[in-house]
Amino acid sequence: MEEFIWIDNKKYRRGYTTGSCATAAAKVAAMMVLSQQVIEHVSIVTPSAVKLDLEVLEGCVLDKHSATAAIRKDGGDDIDVTHGMLIYAKVTLNDSTEIIVDGGQGVGRATRKGVRLPIGAAAINDTPMRTIKEAVREVIGAAKGAQVLIYAPEGEERAQQTYNPRLGIMGGISILGTTGIVTPMSDESWKKSISLELEMKFAQGMRKVVLVPGNHGERFAKDVLGMDEKYVVIMSNFVRYVLKEAERLGYERVVLIGHFGKLIKVASGIFHTHSHVADGRIDTLVANLALLGAPQAFLLQIDECKTTEEAMELVEQAGWQNVYEQIAKRIKERVELLSRFTKNPMSTDAVLFSLDNQLLASSCPIELLTEEFRT
């Protein structure tokens, strides 16, 4: 594997997924039970055709019919909650010619429809499920069968820091990975979790959704506006990605609710709101104030501000709060432009609030929105 990549002139180390760990652990456990020897290193080829040479951790268990081995998850420089975890596989041979893979301690189980897993199934996604079976089959041949148990002793505790509880995957982590490799700064697993949440809600019959950047937006929607939390999905910075996923699935209605300093970027067509991607907050505020006729001296004051909070204080003092409604309407327009070429464009609105949880503006009457998303 090419160990490093360069992003914005910075060097980042690649890692490998929980799916690769489970595959490697299952392969080496199968090798050990056949050879009746402890093996210290194993190689696998990931779905993206990258070869991994991995160390097998101490503490392997071996008997006549089964073996257990562990691989430590390494996320490289894209560290998430599973980084450093031990992923175990226990392989028990039998004469059935079939390979059955299941999850044990610390691997979550699906409790709701819509996460691409049957209710009650272990949270082992399609690609890792396939690569585990292929790796074990490669070792044991066609004449034998095997029971493969994937488990992660720390999984239940660490899963509380993931999206799994929101998705109805309870009791542990998911075994994930479509490429087998973790590429720093890619955010792919995070995006996938959001997609699964949207799919789950759609499968439950929802056709409208409230998108918020983070926990602050979620609390505002629930606690201040009184919206039902079942409609709320945290989209993080991935505005375009999540909107396109909602469009792909067939949602009819999307409302964006967020802090002014985050969502103002969308008003200028910035659909990834992390500061390392783009930032035009003050410029957008200045432009919209100018469209409302604000005097040049005031615009120059705003232009000198380093934060939106500083600029908002000036807006309040000068009485230009109507700019917030203007920007909320711009956000609505930008989102609708994004889906204008689809057969059934989504109906959209936007709500803005301040850091102290004060409603700033809504692109439609807020009473209608709160009533719409209460039931």
Q: What is the pLDDT of residues 269-298, one digit of tens each?
A: 999 988 777 888 999 999 999 999 999 999
Give the pLDDT of residue 113.
80
Cα(16)–Cα(178) distance, integer angstroms: 11
Contact 175, 125 (CB under 8 A): yes
212 and 128 in one domain? no
Q: Which of 180-184, 221-225, 309-313, 316-320 is predicted with the least confidence, judged by mean pLDDT?
A: 180-184
- State the residue range of the domain holding 232: 206-372
Whether residue 77 lies inside any domain: the answer is: yes
Output the pLDDT for position 9: 57
Domain-terminating residue out of 149, 182, 215: 182
Among 278, 196, 213, 253, CA closest to 369 = 253
Residue 189 within any structural domain of the chain: no
Q: Are residues 254 and 159 in the same domain?
A: no
Each residue of 62-108: pLDDT tens digit?
Answer: 999 999 999 999 988 766 889 999 999 999 999 999 999 999 999 99
Q: What's the domain count of the chain?
A: 2
Alpha helices in the chain (DSSP H): 18-35, 126-140, 155-159, 164-167, 188-203, 215-219, 239-249, 260-267, 281-291, 296-303, 308-318, 322-338, 366-372
Q: How confident is the model at residue 14 (pLDDT cuts 50, 70, 90)?
A: confident
Query: How far is Cα 267 from Cα 338, in angstroms, rounded to an integer?
Result: 12
The C-alpha atoms of residue 12 and residue 185 are separated, in whole angstroms, by: 9
What CATH number is associated with residue 163? 3.30.2110.10
237 and 327 assigned to the same domain? yes
Q: What angle do CA 89, 92, 93 make, to 5 degrees?
A: 135
Query: Which residue type does 230 have?
Result: K
DSSP string of 247-296, one letter each residue: HHHT--EEEEEEEHHHHHHHHTT-----TTT---HHHHHHHHHHHTT--H
How many CB atoms are located within 10 Å of the residue 291 CB? 11
Whether residues 330 and 287 fall in one domain: yes
Tell me if 41 is assigned to some domain.
Answer: yes
Same structural domain, 22 and 126: yes
Task: Tell me the β-bridge partners of 146.
Answer: 93, 99
153 plus 257 within the same structural domain:
no
Q: What is the pLDDT of residue 307?
A: 86
Could you tell me if 72 and 82 are in contact, meaning their C-beta atoms sit under 8 angstroms apart? no
| 196, part of any domain | no
* Residues 132 and 243 placed together within one structural domain of the fold: no
- 250 in the same domain as 313: yes
In the chain, the percentage of residues whose pLDDT exceeds 90 is 75
Give the end of a domain, one of 150, 182, 214.
182
Partners of 346 in the beta sheet?
Answer: none
| Per-residue pLDDT at 189 exceeds 90 | no
Q: Tell me, what amino acid is at 84?
A: G
Q: Is residue 87 part of a domain?
A: yes
> Mean pLDDT, to the nearest integer, of 29-40?
95
Q: Are residues 18 and 154 in the same domain?
A: yes
Q: Are residues 150 and 54 in the same domain?
A: yes
Q: Say if 114 falls within a structural domain.
A: yes
Helices (H) and strands (E) in the chain, counts: 13, 18
Same domain (yes/no): 169, 243? no
345 shares a domain with 252: yes
| Segment 328-369, tens digit of pLDDT | 999 999 999 998 888 888 999 999 999 899 999 999 999 999
What is the pLDDT at residue 20?
Answer: 96
| pLDDT at 279 (0 to 100) | 86
* Cα atoms found within 13 Å of the Cα of residue 164, Cβ hemisphere only: 29
CB neighbourhood size of 208 (10 A): 16
